[in-house]
Amino acid sequence: MSDLKNMNNDYMIRRSQVVKPGTEVSKPQSNVTGPSFNDVLNKIQSGEGVKFSKHAIDRLNSRNIALSEEELGRISNGMDKAKSKGVRDALIMMDNKVFVASVSNKTIITAAMDEQLKENVFTNIDGAVIV
């Protein structure tokens, strides 16, 4: 029974450290303009335009690659051009960013930029597009 009492005390201590209901939590201020990461992620997941695989989303996050609406449009246009030429898997180069994409699924498979591009070999592609 004393173990149960200790567990209950631990729970109450931890619970008291959580913000109490009705208490306002201040959000950090941001100077970033444009759509939020969540807005872009929701658009990606909704199936509108270009989609991203889980692996690609992990790479975007781990490599701090941010994409604007304009850049997503450029990638989408690049995929459309690749599809019109019969490309199935494309390397899409845009500024200092590179994406490997499944053109038929309109899905980005992976992403890299700057330093990750040095001495890198891209396989399983049958076309390249510069946007």
Rounded Cα distance, 103 and 89, in Å:
6
pLDDT at 118 over 90: no
Among 87, 92, 131, 94, CA closest to 110: 92
Q: What pTM was estimated for this model as a whole?
A: 0.63
pLDDT (mean) for 5-24: 54
Rounded Cα distance, 70 and 55, in Å:
22
* Predicted pLDDT at 120: 85
CB burial of 42-66 (b: ≥16 within 10 Å; e: otherwise) equals ebbeeeeebbbbeebbebbeeeebe
Rounded Cα distance, 50 and 74, in Å:
10
Domains and CATH numbers, the chain: 34-130 (3.30.2310)
Q: Convert the pLDDT of each residue in 57-116 to its tens digit.
A: 999 999 999 999 999 999 999 999 999 999 999 999 999 999 999 999 999 999 999 888
Q: Convert the pLDDT of each residue in 31-57 to its tens digit.
A: 656 667 777 666 656 555 899 999 999
| Cα three-residue angle 32-60-26, rounded to 5 degrees | 35
Rounded to whole angstroms, the maximal C-alpha distance in the chain is 73
